[in-house]
Amino acid sequence: MIKTAVVTDRRYLKHFAGRVHPERPERVEVMIEMAESLGRPDLDFCTPREATVEEISLCHTREYIATVERTSHVDRYDFDADTHTSRDSYRSAILAAGGVLTAVEAVLDGGVQNAFALVRPPGHHALPNRAMGFCFFNNVAIAAAWLLRKGLERVMVVDWDLHHGNGTQDIFYGSRNVLYVSTHQYPHYPGTGSLYDMGVGEGIGYTVNAPMPAGFGDPDYLRVFDELILPIGRAFKPEFILVSAGFDCHFRDPLGAMEVTEAGFEQMARRVKLLAAETCAGRVVAALEGGYDLEALANSGKAVLEEFGREADEPLAHPPGGARVMPIVERALQSVGRYWDLS
């Protein structure tokens, strides 16, 4: 039986970003209720630990960490127009970063095959010295950097959130040890993630972006996985895969205009799992990023958890449709693809 760790905690509900803010405590609450209601013996519920300042400083400056810590002393601090704290936000944020580390540790220990960290606040927009886009500390980037410090040399981050993970891209832009791949609505917040953001210096080729216009859905996303992400992932041969699992590209989401369904998330998770099975003994950790429609969030999270627990994969059927995304895939293959041996 495949065992999956679910790392979550009601302490994530304590971060409060504002009365009408879309990134609200109920997001994790519905995920916890969903996971608990499944009653699956293969789910191993784990309590997250807090990340240490030293671990967070793998990706953020000490000065910035101290700035976020100081927000614990005021009822509200505005980092920008949509990124606000409450007194409990710092603790929730270090627990979110630590939750992804707890998930990674559970998978490395071998007690579970894969894990899903149901955390908030999210992380993938957070820059080394700046909070933005509802994010304070870059949970997934910290986990990737932590794995490198453990001695791993190739970590892959798959970011299927609606938005481009500018923070994660930025942190590893010059690194060949982290392959960052992102599907996202484009142009859209935060504005980064063009086809020609490909990395710099020895990191060139290790940032792979698939920007897609509004209205694209399952067949388009799955084509991008089959024709771009999986071939480059196979060439990279990751030793561990992290997923920035945002569900705001769901068709019901109020912040996005993409058309992904629960079946689409399940199929993306299957592809990531297949790549992990081929390259790194199935080691995958997904971490919650965005997703602002509560029903879509719970149903999509459930689809990913079900896929993570599935024993055998059927061969991947090529999804019907998606021809409209092929010009984007082809341009990506011509630009970033030339850094890879995809034969």
What H or E segment, with its residue span, contains residue 96?
helix 89-109
By the rule CB under 5 A, 23 interacts with Zn ion:
no
User: Could you tell me which stretch among 17-25, 28-36, 105-113, 158-166 binds Zn ion (CB under 5 A)?
Assistant: 158-166
| Residue nearest Zn ion (C-beta atom) | 290
User: Could you tell me which stretch among 10-18, 162-170, 173-181, 196-204 binds Zn ion (CB under 5 A)?
Assistant: 162-170
**What whole-number distance in Å separates Cα of residue 52 and Cα of residue 68?**
14
By the rule CB under 5 A, 246 interacts with Zn ion:
yes
Q: Are 284 and 116 within 8 A, CB to CB?
A: no
**What whole-number distance in Å separates Cα of residue 293 and Cα of residue 291?**
6
Q: Are 2 and 308 within 8 A, CB to CB?
A: yes
Instruction: Give the shortest CB-262-to-Zn ion separation in angstroms.
Output: 17
By the rule CB under 5 A, 211 interacts with Zn ion:
no
User: Could you tell me which stretch among 39-47, 80-88, 161-169, 325-333 binds Zn ion (CB under 5 A)?
Assistant: 161-169
Is residue 214 helix, strand or coil? coil
Instruction: Give the shortest CB-217-to-Zn ion separation in angstroms.
Output: 16
Q: Catalogue the E-assigned strands of the chain.
A: 4-7, 43-46, 77-80, 83-85, 114-117, 155-159, 178-185, 207-212, 240-245, 284-288
By the rule CB under 5 A, 162 interacts with Zn ion:
yes
User: Could you tell me which stretch among 12-20, 82-90, 103-111, 241-249 binds Zn ion (CB under 5 A)?
Assistant: 241-249
Place of tokens 């499944």: 38
By the rule CB under 5 A, 293 interacts with Zn ion:
no
Q: Are 270 and 183 within 8 A, CB to CB?
A: no
Active site residues: 125
- Options 23, 170, 227, 248; binder of Zn ion; rule CB under 5 A: 248
Between strands 284-288 and 240-245, the pairing is: parallel
Considering CB under 5 A, how many residues would be counted as binding Zn ion?
A: 6
- Options 199, 290, 301, 322; binder of Zn ion; rule CB under 5 A: 290
By the rule CB under 5 A, 68 interacts with Zn ion:
no
Instruction: Give the shortest CB-180-to-Zn ion separation in angstroms.
Output: 15
- Options 27, 163, 271, 273; binder of Zn ion; rule CB under 5 A: 163
By the rule CB under 5 A, 159 interacts with Zn ion:
no
Bridge partners for 116 per DSSP: 6, 286
Give the amino acid at 258.
M
Instruction: Give the shortest CB-289-to-Zn ion separation in angstroms.
Output: 6
With a CB cutoff of 8 Å and minimum separation 6, the contacts of 241 are 155, 156, 157, 158, 233, 272, 275, 276, 280, 283, 284, 285
By the rule CB under 5 A, 161 interacts with Zn ion:
yes
Instruction: Give the shortest CB-10-to-Zn ion separation in angstroms.
Output: 23
Q: Which residues bind Zn ion (CB under 5 A)?
A: 161-163, 246, 248, 290
